[in-house]
Structure 1
C-alpha cells in the first residue's frame, strides 16, 4: 500500500510540474506576440511618404519653426493619413493664432533652407495635392476669404515680397472652388505699402471675383475644382523666367510664363484694370522696380498658408476676412470648420548648384 501511495504522489507531482511548464510556455508566447503588434502600428512619418525634407524647415500653425522635419509629427498641424488607397502628408492650420514673421495669417508650411537668384536659377518644385478644407466663415466681399495658398516663391531679401502664390478658394455652399496664381510686384523704392498682386485664373475664377455682400456669394465657378479633388503644379525658374504648369485629370492642362527679372509694371499707366479695381482704392498703387526680382534671393514654400483671418475688413478689404477665430482657440476652430487643411501625395524639389544658405531669412522672421 505504501509503495502504491508513493507512486501516486510521484505521478501527481510530475503532473503539476508539466502543467506549470505549459503555463510558462503560454505566458512566454504571449510576451513575444505583444511587441510584434506594437511594431506593426508604428507612426509613419511624412518623410517616409515624401522623402525630401532635408531641403526644408517646417513652420507650424502656432508660429513655431520646427526645423528639418524628418521623423516628426504634430497632430494639431502636421501628420500623415491614408485615404484607403494611398498615404498623404497633412498640413493643417486655423484661422487665428500665432503667426510667423510679420504675416497676419497662420501657416503650416515648408520653407526652403536655401535661396537662389532668378537670373542664374535652374530650380524646380512640383506637387500633387488635394485641398480638404477652407474656412467656413469670412466676409464674402474680402478676396482672401475662404482661401489657402498651397505653394509659393518668396523673396528672402529687401521687401521680402512674393513673385508667386498658388491659391485654392471655395465659397461655402459651392461644390467647386477655384485655383489661381498671383504675382506680387517688387515695389520700387523703400516704401512697400503700395505693393499689390495680379491674379491669374487656372481653373475657375481669379482672386477678384467676390461677393456683393458679407454673406452673399458670387456664382459658382465653371470648370472649378472640388474639395478632395487632386491637382498638380510644377514651378520651374530658369534664366530669369518662371514657368508654371497645372494639371488635373478632369481639367485642361494650363501653362504660364512670367519674367522675374524685367518688370512690366514700372509706371502708373502699366497698372492693370484688375488692380485698379481691387488695390488702388485702398492706396496700394505702387509701381515695380525695372529689374523686378533680379538680384534678390528667392526660395520655395509648400503647405497650407491660410489666407482667412479674424482681422476686420475695415483694415484691408482684400486681405482681412473678419472670420471666426474663437480668440485663437484651436480646438474650437477645428470643431466648427474655421481652419484650412491640405493633403500632399507627392512632391519634389530640384535645387541648383548656385543656391546658397537662406538662414538670414529665418533669423529675421523666427
Structure 2
C-alpha cells in the first residue's frame, strides 16, 4: 500500500520536472533567437592600434565594439564574417584631402631608418564608382592600404590601389610611391605607379566615356587578394598574393631617393604629371627622419571635382551634391571588405597624436 500511495507524488514530481525542463528549453531557444551584434573588433581584433576615420570626415577613435551603418560594419558571406569599409564619392573629408575615406589610421608613427614594422591584410573590393571621367587616372579606383608620413609635407610613400572600369569584369591592382618633395613647396609632388595584376595608374580612357582594354591578368570585384607590407632598416618590402594569380614581390628604399634630379624622372611621370605642372624632385634622403604610419580601409579615389582642375586626381563623377543615400543607390561609392588583417609595431614607434591634432 505504501508504494501505491506514493505514486501520485512521484507523478507530480515528474510533471514538475518536465515542466521545468520545458521552461529551460524555451528560455534557451529564446536566447538563441536574439541576434548578437558581430562587431569589426570581433572579426579582426586589432583596433587598439588605430583611429577610425569615417566617410563623413569624422574621427570615430578606437573602433572596439563599434559600427556605423553608412561606413563601417560587418557582414557574413557564407560562414565567414567580413569587415566592411564604405565611402561615397563626395561628402566631408578628413584633413586636406579632396576624397572621402572610411579608413584606419595608425595611432603610432615609426621612423623608416630604424623601423621593423609590418601590416598584412586579406580583402576583396566589392564596388568602385560607377561614374567618372575615364581620362582621369584615379577614376573608378580605391586605395586599400597606405603608408603615410605624419611630418613634413605629409606625403605617401605607399598607396595600394584597386581600379576597375565600367563594363570590365576584371580590374587592376597597383601600388604607388609618392616622392617626398625637396624644398618647402609641395605642389610639384608626383607618384610613380607599379602594376601588380593588370594595368598601372597611367592606363586611362581616350575619351571621358571610352575605356582601355580590359586587363587579362586582373582581379574581379569580389575576388580575394592579400598584401603584406614590411618596413625594416629603411627598406619597404611588398608581397601580393591571390589564388590563381602569380605572387608578386617588390622592394623600395625609403631613405635614399631614386628621384633626386630632374633627369631621374621616369617617362610615366613625364607623360602623366609634367602636363599639369607637377615636376618636382625628391629630397636626397627621401623619407629619412619623418614619422610614418600605416592606413587600411577604403580611401575612395573618385570625386566630383572637375577634370579641368587636375587631369590625374579630379574625376568629375556623380556626387548628388553630397547626398550619401543617393550615391549609394546608384553605385557612386567605394566598398572594401576585409577578412583578416594584422599589424606589428616596432619598439621605437611613438605617438602619432600630432597628425590627428592637425587633421581632425
Q: Could you say what secondary structure the match of 1:32 adopts?
A: helix
TM-score w.r.t. length of structure 1: 0.91
Q: Could you say what secondary structure the match of 1:228 adopts?
A: coil
**What is the match of residue 202 of structure 2?**
208
1:295 to 289, 293, 296: 289
Summarize the alignment of residues 81-230 of structure 1 with structure 2, pairs less than 5 Å apart. Answer: 81-230=75-224
CA distance in 1, matches of 2:231, 2:21: 64
Q: Could you say what secondary structure the match of 1:361 adopts?
A: helix
**What is the match of residue 4 of structure 1?**
none
Q: Deviations over 1:164-192 (max 9, x none)?
A: 00000000000100000000000000000
List gaps (5 residues or longer) in structure 1.
1-20
CA distance in 1, matches of 2:317, 2:241: 31
1:336 is the counterpart of 2:330: yes
CA distance in 1, matches of 2:28, 2:339: 33
The structure with the larger Rg is 1
**What is the match of residue 256 of structure 2?**
262
CA distance in 2, matches of 1:184, 1:79: 31
Q: Deviations over 1:129-188 (max 9, x none)?
A: 000000000000000000000000000001000000000000000010000000000000
CA distance in 2, matches of 1:162, 1:210: 22
Please report how far the alpha carbon of residue 32 of structure 1 lies from its aligned counterpart in structure 2 after TM superposition. 3.4
1:32 is the counterpart of 2:30: no
Q: Deviations over 1:75-111 (max 9, x none)?
A: 1100001111311000001000000000000000000
CA distance in 2, matches of 1:60, 1:203: 29
**What is the match of residue 272 of structure 2?**
278
Summarize the alignment of residues 340-359 of structure 1 with structure 2, pairs less than 5 Å apart. Answer: 340-359=334-353
CA distance in 2, matches of 1:26, 1:86: 34
Q: Deviations over 1:109-140 (max 9, x none)?
A: 00000000000000000000000000000000
Following TM superposition, the consecutive aligned residue runs of length 4 or more in structure 1 with deviations greater than 4 angstroms are 24-31
CA distance in 1, matches of 2:200, 2:251: 17
TM-score w.r.t. length of structure 2: 0.93
2:229 to 230, 235, 242: 235
Please report how far the alpha carbon of residue 38 of structure 1 lies from its aligned counterpart in structure 2 after TM superposition. 4.9
CA distance in 2, matches of 1:38, 1:99: 40
Summarize the alignment of residues 302-321 of structure 1 with structure 2, pairs less than 5 Å apart. Answer: 302-321=296-315
Aligned-CA RMSD value: 1.6
Q: Deviations over 1:171-229 (max 9, x none)?
A: 00001000000000000000000000000000000000000000000000120000000
List gaps (5 residues or longer) in structure 2.
1-15
CA distance in 2, matches of 1:311, 1:31: 58
Q: Structure 1 residues 86, 266: closer, same or farther in 2, change over 3 A?
A: same
Q: Could you say what secondary structure the match of 1:333 adopts?
A: helix
CA distance in 2, matches of 1:262, 1:29: 69
